[in-house]
Amino acid sequence: MARLAERLGRCWGVNPERAFAAGLLHDAARALTLDGQRALLRGYRGRTWDPITRNRHSALWHAPAAALLARRRYGVRDTGILRAVALHTTGWPNMRTLDKIIFVADYAEPRRGFAAAAVLRRLAEKDLDAAVAVVVRGKHAYLRAQGSGVHPRSRALLASLAKRRR
């Protein structure tokens, strides 16, 4: 995933080293148990550790936890990298280019087993915003099929994309 982020960084004018670092760090907290993630996030007040995430979406905890690990354990001070890591699961309406790259690269990384991932990677090199739209729609469809709720940040992202098309 980090190599894909690096490649997309080159395509879209983002320092490839920053994109690679964000790609490496985006799942840094995945190996922690939910209890470990909760303990790490105790006392954290960042925008990605909101009450909805905390109380209803434990599958998303690893994103803000990874941003905290990146800052505390690995000394990352680049707020753009930290934001992209923290928001890589839900996105948000005002994503910056690095945020979009990590959001798309996480979904379309080469190890993903679905056939459309390769098509999405090619799309991301040509039209990053279109790739973001494909990802958020794919996540919404998956979550609805699973009977899971969609995080309000993701709903807001989808709504903002719909407004841009008008």
Single pTM value for the model: 0.93
Instruction: Say if residues 97 and 13 touch (Cβ distance below 8 Å).
Output: yes
CATH topology of domain 2-165: Hypothetical protein af1432 (1.10.3210)
The domain ranges of the chain are 2-165
pLDDT on residue 165: 62
Query: Alpha helices of 76-115 — where are they, by DSSP H?
Result: 79-86, 97-108
pLDDT tens digits along 70-81: 999 999 999 999
pLDDT on residue 55: 85
Mean pLDDT of 148-165: 85
pLDDT tens digits along 20-59: 999 999 999 999 999 999 999 987 877 788 888 888 789 9
